Chain A
Amino acid sequence: MHLISCCAKTGFANTYVIGPDAGNEAALIDPGHFPAGLLSRIERAGMEVAAVLLTHGHRAHSGGLDTVLSVYRTPVYAHAATRIQRPCEHVRHGDTIVVGARAFEVIELPGHAADCVAFRTGDLLFTGDALLAGAAGNTSSAGDHATLAAALRERILCLPDRLTILPGHGPPTTVGVERAFNPALNPRPGRRRRG
């Protein structure tokens, strides 16, 4: 597996590219205002973007979509409620997106925005803004914290501790870490456990 992770200088959003060790079909998750050199890195790694997956439609996570689509003719997968100026393949909870040899399960996590989804592939979970290290997504402007917290408890706490979470902002984390310390997932955060 080949994983590229980069952080934008504008908006600090993360963009991820995941592809195989051999072959070239890769998925690009959240093309926000990604940093210079990302597309060259993809090329140097011998990958070609075969699908774009949007965790939600906010500009910080989709603002680079036009640039990506000017280089790669590729489908864009997003929730039906996502509002962007490009045609999308709409996905919903439980759908599976196949990109090359890799399958991505769609997990709806509304609350930060109505169109928020996570994508799980193997032991990786791309959560966008719904779940960050040590916090749930921001719901202060237009979201709904109770909806988000319920979705996270119902759909993330059932997952194995070992899963790596790659969020839309900030560092990676794991389900085990969030289960132990995230106040949105754990009514008594700060509990110690051994991994």
Chain B
Amino acid sequence: MVVSFPHCRRRGCTAYAVYRRDHCAAHCPDRAAYEAEAAALLANSPRLQDVNLSGVQCRGLDLSGRELIGCRFSGAVWRDVCLDRAHLRHVYLDFATLQSCSLRGTAITQSLFAGAAITGTRFDESDLPRNNFVGVQCTDCSFGGSDLSSCRFAAARLQRVDLQDCNLYHTHFAGSAMTDVNLRYCNTAEAYL
């Protein structure tokens, strides 16, 4: 698994270059064409590893059942993206925007949603242990019946979020703000609420 990628060639830019380009998404000279290329890559690859698509916008993709390992989507914008039953490991969605996405029945671990803005998105019945949700802004989302053990939600803002039946063993919510959050029947043993 690769954790670092070549840097963007724009002078002074410290971001990583996106997959198969010399620049980051913001400095990509053919950004619209690149986003279409990236969408095709995602749609047509059952398994993607060590690919950086940070800052890339995607809409209406069906990525159900995909396997993503070591991929970066930091600061990306995903709308109406379906990742049902997908497997994600060491995937970076930090500071991303997820709107109306579906991640039901997924297996996601050691991944970052930190600082992301997630709205209207469903994670129900998923295995989500050891993920980073620090500083996430989560609105109108559901995680019902999911395993969120050892996840970290420090400094998160959760509004109208359904966590019913979740395993919150060892889950860390220090400094988070919860409004209209359903914690019914959760296992909160050793959780930091």
Residues of chain A touching chain B, judged by Cβ–Cβ distance below 8 Å, are 1-3, 5, 7, 12, 122-124, 132-135, 160-162, 164, 169-174, 176-178, 180-183, 189-190, 192-195
Closest 7 CB pairs of A and B: A134-B154, A195-B95, A181-B135, A123-B4, A134-B134, A171-B132, A177-B114
A133 vs B94: C-alpha distance when bound (angstroms): 12
Shortest distance in angstroms between A157's beta carbon and chain B's nearest beta carbon?
A: 15
Q: CB-CB < 8 A to A161: which residues of B?
A: 14
CB of B3 within 8 Å of the partner chain: yes
Q: CB-CB < 8 A to A180: which residues of B?
A: 115, 135
Interchain CB contact under 8 A, B115 and A134: no
Q: CB-CB < 8 A to B15: which residues of A?
A: 162
A161 vs B150: C-alpha distance when bound (angstroms): 24
Q: What 0/1 pattern do residues 124 to 150 of B give for CB contact below 8 A with A?
A: 000000111011010000000000001
A190 vs B110: C-alpha distance when bound (angstroms): 22
Task: Knowing A174-B112, A177-B114, A192-B115 are in contact, say whether A135-B3 is a contact too (CB < 8 A).
Answer: no
CB of B99 within 8 Å of the partner chain: no
Partner of B14, one of A134, A160, A171: A160
Shortest distance in angstroms between A66's beta carbon and chain B's nearest beta carbon?
A: 26
Partner of B175, one of A162, A173, A190: A190
- The interface size bin for chain B is 35 or more
Shortest distance in angstroms between A2's beta carbon and chain B's nearest beta carbon?
A: 7
Q: CB-CB < 8 A to B154: which residues of A?
A: 133-135, 181-182
Q: CB-CB < 8 A to B132: which residues of A?
A: 133-134, 170-173, 177
Q: CB-CB < 8 A to A7: which residues of B?
A: 130, 150
A3 vs B90: C-alpha distance when bound (angstroms): 11
Can you name the residue of chain B whose Cβ is closest to the Cβ of A7? B130
CB of B57 within 8 Å of the partner chain: no
CB of B16 within 8 Å of the partner chain: yes
Partner of A193, one of B3, B112, B115: B115
Can you name the residue of chain A whose Cβ is closest to the Cβ of B15? A162
A172 vs B132: C-alpha distance when bound (angstroms): 7
Q: CB-CB < 8 A to B74: which residues of A?
A: 195
Can you name the residue of chain A whose Cβ is closest to the Cβ of B169? A12
Q: CB-CB < 8 A to B157: which residues of A?
A: 190
A192 vs B94: C-alpha distance when bound (angstroms): 12
Interchain CB contact under 8 A, B152 and A177: no
Shortest distance in angstroms between A1's beta carbon and chain B's nearest beta carbon?
A: 6
Shortest distance in angstroms between A102's beta carbon and chain B's nearest beta carbon?
A: 12
CB of B172 within 8 Å of the partner chain: yes
Taking A135-B174, A176-B95, A180-B115 as known contacts, 6 extra A-B pairs with beta carbons closer than 8 A to each other, sorted by chain A number, are: A134-B134, A172-B90, A172-B132, A177-B135, A183-B155, A190-B175
Interchain CB contact under 8 A, A171 and B94: no
Can you name the residue of chain A whose Cβ is closest to the Cβ of B16? A162
